[in-house]
Amino acid sequence: MKLEEKILSVAKDTISIEAKAIANLENLIDKDFSDAVECIYNSKGRVIITGIGKSAIIANKIVATLNSTGTPSVFMHAADAIHGDLGTILKDDVVICISKSGNTPEIKVLVPLIKNFHNKLIAITGNKDSFLGLQSDFVLNAYVEMEACPNNLAPTTSTTAQLVLGDALAVCLLNLRGFSSKDFAKYHPGGALGKKLYLRVSDITAQNQLPQVSPITNVRDVIIEISEKMLGVVAVIEKEKVIGIVTDGDIRRMLRNNDAFIHLTAADIMSKNPKTVPQDMMAVEALAILEKNKISQLIAVEDGKYAGIVHIHNLIREGII
């Protein structure tokens, strides 16, 4: 077998093994899962998630997912917990402990200490009959038949199962809380994803200059206004209303069709009834209009009056595209 064929075969086997294990989790979801979700939902405290080794890495990811979807969560490393970090746990907190075997030495030391605090304990484990499973209030069964590792040793399938159960917890809680896109944007303000949910046309127009001319402005001054404002467009304004638009394309067409153009005005070359959008429109909606009409700029209005220009380059710069 060629090296390429061997690599692809191993990769496909790995995916197949993990996919089958994840599909089987549907059969392992029971009342303990729903009770655990209700316990977290009704709790007045946070979710403390702990584990060791690869399970600790999965715990960190679940913490991040819960925090970003409205469930305050904190990671506590199982080894550090028994050396002082138990102070992380407050009275009303719910603790989730992740361990494939449920019988590691650190877990056996940690679990009785958590129980002494009388906090509710949720286990995510592949062994319901383990020390962790038997000591927990709720057990989320993360059993897998085998690891994808050919030696059945390296945590692969098992950590994927833990991760999926964590996602299932987060999505259930998200639904119970009625967590909306606006809530999501509040927790994700810095990235492109957040901007798609909160950035408005007014945020874009505030970055740009305000190119405008009157209908009787001569072509020379129209070209100067377009060049100086560097948006490739100028709005034609009459009595504070937008009556037309002149773009770079309009200028090129004028030059192609006219040997003499010094006598022309903005009204002679403008495109009438340009597409406009309200200032409070979401930027991502403005992008859809630009793409649908295959144009580069939109005119923004507020209370029917000219408010600014939205250029597709603005949206690229903001990461909306």
Distance, in Å, from the CA atom of 163 to the CA atom of 272, rounded to the nearest integer, reads 56
Specify binding-site residues for Zn(2+): 77
Three-state DSSP state, 261: coil
Distance, in Å, from the CA atom of 298 to the CA atom of 276, rounded to the nearest integer, reads 6
Question: Checking phi first, is residue 155 left (phi over 0); if not, alpha (psi -120 to 50) or beta?
Answer: beta
Tokens of 16: 């197949």
User: Rg of the Cα trace of the chain?
Assistant: 30
Distance, in Å, from the CA atom of 157 to the CA atom of 308, rounded to the nearest integer, reads 54
Q: Who contacts 312 (Cβ-Cβ below 8 Å, separation ≥6)?
A: 287, 290, 296, 297, 321
Q: Who contacts 292 (Cβ-Cβ below 8 Å, separation ≥6)?
A: none
Look-up: residue for tokens 């597409």?
Answer: 275
Q: Are 203 and 237 in contact (CB under 8 A)?
A: no
Q: Which helix (H) or strand (E) holds 299?
A: strand 297-302
Specify binding-site residues: 77
Q: How far is CA 102 from the centre of its chain?
A: 33
